[in-house]
């Protein structure tokens, strides 16, 4: 542990399981005060993990932790997050990690409108609402970092013939939301360039086998198609104290590790 983020105030969405837990733990290990958000306070109906379990995991680092239960698909619910985190952590938010996402898969020709709306509420509108909520204080302070987690599914397939991968075209609507997130990130970064606020997206190069991903595709992946949670977290954190010139990018976790010559750490901040 280096105290790299000592005194920083951070929001991590989707922190009841998966990548969000890893990011939140690493921030706490590095001295940050962390507000963790998600829908599951105590127990999910079929997935492991909860905000209370994450908070218990973070308690070992003696860093302040705030639990905020919120549904990002509900506009009124998500608009509470930044004010509550600001009050709980004792100051404005300096780092926002938009990790939470809704992932539902079905063929495009059959994809129901209700599910499309959920995906875009969680993956596009919520990250932008949270970013808009933290930007004024970041701009006033002259610095801030917003990191949105994206996906390689944002890229279209060349063809025909089309090589659509393990899940085929069923990832298209999810990927469309992530493509929108990438473009939105780039535009916000351009608007804020020169203010000290950096805005980037980062996506895994390979699959990170979180609880949900392992259940969905874990059985069909080869070892070289998988990256560790620690590697993904290292990529995320590299964009949470990056210089002002590193902004508006759509980044890839393992590429960042190579390009920036990063040392991958364990979630407790120690070297692997």
Active site residues: 174
Of 36, 35, 30, nearest to 7 by C-alpha is 30
CA distance 247 to 197: 8
CA distance 44 to 125: 24
Instruction: Kindly state the DSSP code that residue 248 receives in the 8-state scheme.
Output: S
CA distance 237 to 263: 12
The structure tokens 């920083």 sit at 8
Report whether 118 contacts 73 (CB < 8 A): yes
Cβ neighbours for 148, distance < 8 A, ≥ 6 positions apart: 98, 127, 181, 182, 185, 199, 200, 201, 202
Query: How many Cβ atoms are within 10 Å of 215's Cβ, its own excluded?
Result: 12
């Amino acid at each position: 542990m280096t105290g790299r983020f000592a005194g920083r105030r951070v929001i991590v969405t989707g922190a009841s399981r998966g990548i969000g837990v890893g990011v939140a733990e690493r921030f706490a290990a590095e001295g940050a005060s962390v507000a963790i958000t998600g829908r599951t306070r105590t127990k999910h109906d079929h997935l492991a993990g909860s905000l209370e379990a994450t908070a218990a995991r973070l308690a070992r680092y003696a860093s302040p932790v705030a639990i905020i239960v919120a549904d990002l698909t509900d506009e009124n619910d998500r608009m509470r997050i930044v004010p509550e985190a600001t009050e709980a952590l004792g100051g404005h938010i300096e780092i926002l990690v938009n990790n939470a996402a809704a992932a539902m898969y079905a063929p495009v020709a059959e994809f129901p409108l209700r599910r499309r709306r959920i995906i875009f509420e969680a993956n596009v509108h919520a990250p932008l609402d949270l970013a808009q909520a933290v930007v004024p204080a970041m701009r006033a302070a002259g610095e801030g970092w917003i990191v949105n987690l994206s996906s390689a599914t944002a890229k279209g397939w060349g063809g025909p013939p089309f090589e659509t991968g393990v899940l085929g075209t069923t990832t298209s609507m999810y990927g469309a939301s992530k493509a929108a997130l990438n473009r939105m990130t780039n535009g916000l970064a351009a608007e804020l360039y020169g203010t000290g606020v950096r805005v980037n997206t980062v996506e895994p190069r390979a699959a990170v086998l979180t609880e949900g991903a392992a259940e969905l595709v874990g059985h069909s992946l080869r070892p070289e198609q998988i990256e560790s949670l620690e590697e993904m977290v290292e990529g995320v954190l590299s964009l949470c104290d990056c210089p002002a010139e590193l902004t508006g990018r759509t980044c890839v976790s393992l590429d960042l590790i190579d390009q920036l010559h990063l040392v991958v750490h364990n979630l407790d901040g120690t070297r692997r």
